[in-house]
Chain A
Amino acid sequence: QSALPQPASVSGSPGQSITISCTGTSSDVGGYNYVSWYQHHPGKAPQVMIYEVSNRPSGVSNRFSGSKSGNTASLTISGLQAEDEADYYCSSYTGGNTPFVFGTGTKVTVL
């Protein structure tokens, strides 16, 4: 199971919106509504921002939203803030002996 391609980096100014894509196949992203997005500040525990494609855990800002179309999932961050600067990874359940596949990761920079 190969890593799910994500753009290596995305940047935006404070207040802007950015979108990160995560491209899979019908065996992972396209086949299940179990796509999650994680925010990772180096040295800290990754935190789930979106689960099951578009659901936000309690405590996560509503500036974060998720969607899926076919084999591609997306994470949108609206009203970009300095604290959003981090690495973001998607993941998808696969149903196989390798139950989860992760994205290649996207570094978000707030200009």
Chain B
Amino acid sequence: EVQLVESGGGLVQPGGSLRLSCAASGFTFSSHLMHWVRQAPGKGLVWVSRINSDGSTINYADSVQGRFTISRDNAKNTLYLQMNSLGAEDTAVYYCVRDNGYKIDYWGQGTLVTVSS
């Protein structure tokens, strides 16, 4: 059974940093592109970042470019999102999702990040 379990969310002050993790199991993690998608309170889903299977190709949404860093450790079956210079606009539930050939087929339950003083 495919499982994606996010962790690392919490309350952080504006300008602060957080590192999210996503533990993957039930599939060959090293064979899949992975993404982060977020959902602000009362808003829709928004793509944040993606990383290819070996970590050599990475893309970011314009809204997080230069502040967020996606990475992965295929030996640990774990995806990461380092978030710096956080602002109120980054408050959201962050989902780790699996790419299966131009489509997202599995989602984690999400981890809530709240940026507030």
Query: Across the interface, do A51 and B107 meet the contact criterion of CB distance under 8 Å?
Result: no
What band does the interface of chain B fall in when counting residues whose beta carbon is under 8 Å from A?
20 to 34
Q: Which segment of B45-53, B66-74, B75-83 sits at the interface?
A: B45-53
B26 is an interface residue with CB less than 8 A from chain A? no
Query: Across the interface, do A100 and B104 meet the contact criterion of CB distance under 8 Å?
Result: yes
What band does the interface of chain A fall in when counting residues whose beta carbon is under 8 Å from B?
20 to 34
Q: Residue of B at shortest CB range from A104? A: B44
Selected from A36, A38, A99, the residue in CB contact (under 8 A) with B59 is A99
A-contact 0/1 string along B52-69, CB 8 Å cutoff: 000000010100000000
B-contact 0/1 string along A6-29, CB 8 Å cutoff: 000000000000000000000000
CB contacts under 8 Å to A, within B29-51, are 35, 37, 44-47, 50
A-B contact count (CB 8 A): 58
Q: Residue of B at shortest CB range from A103? A: B44
Q: Chain B contacts of A110 at CB under 8 A?
A: none
Main secondary structure of the interface of B (DSSP, over half): strand
Beyond contacts A91-B45, A105-B44: 20 other A-B pairs, Cβ-Cβ < 8 A, are A3-B46, A32-B102, A45-B4, A45-B95, A45-B106, A45-B107, A45-B110, A46-B45, A46-B95, A46-B107, A48-B103, A91-B104, A97-B59, A98-B47, A99-B35, A99-B50, A100-B104, A102-B44, A102-B47, A104-B44
Could you list 5 A-B pairs, sorted by A, with CB under 8 Å?
A32-B102, A34-B103, A47-B107, A97-B59, A102-B45
B-side interface residues toward A, CB under 8 Å?
4, 35, 37, 44-47, 50, 59, 61, 95, 102-110
A-side interface residues toward B, CB under 8 Å?
3, 32, 34, 36, 38, 43-48, 51-52, 57, 89, 91, 93, 97-105
